[in-house]
Amino acid sequence: MLASRQPRPAALAPDRAPAPDRALAPDLARDLAVAAVRATIVDVPTVRAHKLSQTSVTAQSYVVVQVRLRNGVEGVGEAATLGGPRWSEESVEGIKATIDAYLAPALIGHPADRLVAAGARLDAAAKRNNAAKAALETALFDAVGRTLGLPVSALLGGAVRTAFPVLWTLASGDPDQEIAEAEAKLAARLHRTFKIKIGALAPEADLARLARLAAALGGRATLIVDANQAWDETTARRCLPRLADLGVALVEQPLPAWNVAGLGRLRARDGVPPLLADECVFTPHDMLAVAGAAAADAVSLKLVKHGGLLGTRAVAAVAQAAGIGLYGGCLLESSLGASAHLQVFATLRDLAWGCEHFGPQILTGDLVTEPLRFADFEVHLPGGPGLGVTLDPDRLRHYARS
């Protein structure tokens, strides 16, 4: 659905194509006003099953948002979910419906460069719906960057890094397959930190699986564990010291998101690995509560949690003020969504735990003309204006849900 003040053709064609050397219009606010918004659901198969504690993913779903300005420039954003409304309350179907009915109309006619005001409009139009808002804000940033010939990172203060240590997630549940997969990544110099998804099996089975991985990869790779809220506090008290004995460097969200006090109690115990907060931190207020409870050593930053690029920086600022480390989290984004994250991460002074934006590699196909570059155990910030990547219209049509 194309939201605009007046009916328009189905194609997202510009009102007028700007000449390459055309100067910005004198009335920049009018020239940068949002003319049209389109949201498209896409489903991209994955190369293998990706198992979490609460679901298993064999195709990754996104909502791709295209925002056209009156100057003819188009910006693109992406919202990702995992297996429907299981990781959070948003689904791609709900994201598209909310954008079409409530959020897109709130942006029509609004100057794209007034990003804080745009966020206020979106918040007034719908509560929460952070993933939907993140995709729209990303598209606004992309459009403004393309108009001005600047990367999004420049609009956020400028990049302090152009490459990021990047991990790979082992999530098939089969230790033989996972060891072979990790060996291949090490040999190709793509990844040397691996996050193991646990929680779908009984704790003892997961610990046995982790012991095999630690024995096979010990001394050559760093291991991180993600329980995706699967344990209660009693189970975590029993299992966390055993993870420390296996050399696990970081444990993500072992308890349900509501139990921030429990995370604080776990972290205060001896022999517990560093704890990473994820599902319990969506807003800066959540981050403040986690800091107050001394419940985490690091926080996982995701645009879909924090409502966009500006919200991500706000959460990061609270974490940094509390001495809590920053970790670049993901929801298996394509190169489009991953690039949006990298543009933000590039502007953070400290990103001690690196990032996990391996998503483009787990897809059977990507949504952009030139995917992100992975080399020497890092993912590299794309160059060029806006997000630095370009949506491929043929691939968008190919993966679009009919």
Active site residues: 197, 356
Write out the two tokens for 107.
């942006």
3 state SS of 316? helix
DSSP 181-232: HHHHHHHTTS-SEEEEE-SSS-HHHHHHHHHHHHHHHTTT-EEEEE-TT---
Rounded to an integer, what distance in angstroms lies between the CA atom of residue 131 and that of residue 306? 8
C-beta neighbour count of 304 within 10 angstroms = 29
The H or E element that residue 313 is part of is helix 309-321
Whether the Cβ atoms of residue 182 and residue 221 lie closer than 8 Å to each other: yes
Rounded to an integer, what distance in angstroms lies between the CA atom of residue 84 and that of residue 92? 7
Whether the Cβ atoms of residue 76 and residue 337 lie closer than 8 Å to each other: no
What is the separation, in whole angstroms, between the first and last Cα of the chain? 13
C-beta neighbour count of 11 within 10 angstroms = 8
Rounded to an integer, what distance in angstroms lies between the CA atom of residue 73 and that of residue 321? 38
The Cα-based distances of 338 to 79, 162, 175, 184, 329 in angstroms read: 10, 14, 27, 22, 10
In sequence order, which residues have a C-beta less than 8 Å from that of residue 292 and are 6 or more positions away? none
Residues pairing with 37 in the sheet: 3, 67
Rounded to an integer, what distance in angstroms lies between the CA atom of residue 139 and that of residue 136? 5
DSSP 8-state class, residue 274: P
The Cα-based distances of 26 to 22, 29, 235, 250, 372 in angstroms read: 11, 9, 64, 53, 36
Write out the two tokens for 296.
């985490």
In sequence order, which residues have a C-beta less than 8 Å from that of residue 245 and are 6 or more positions away? none
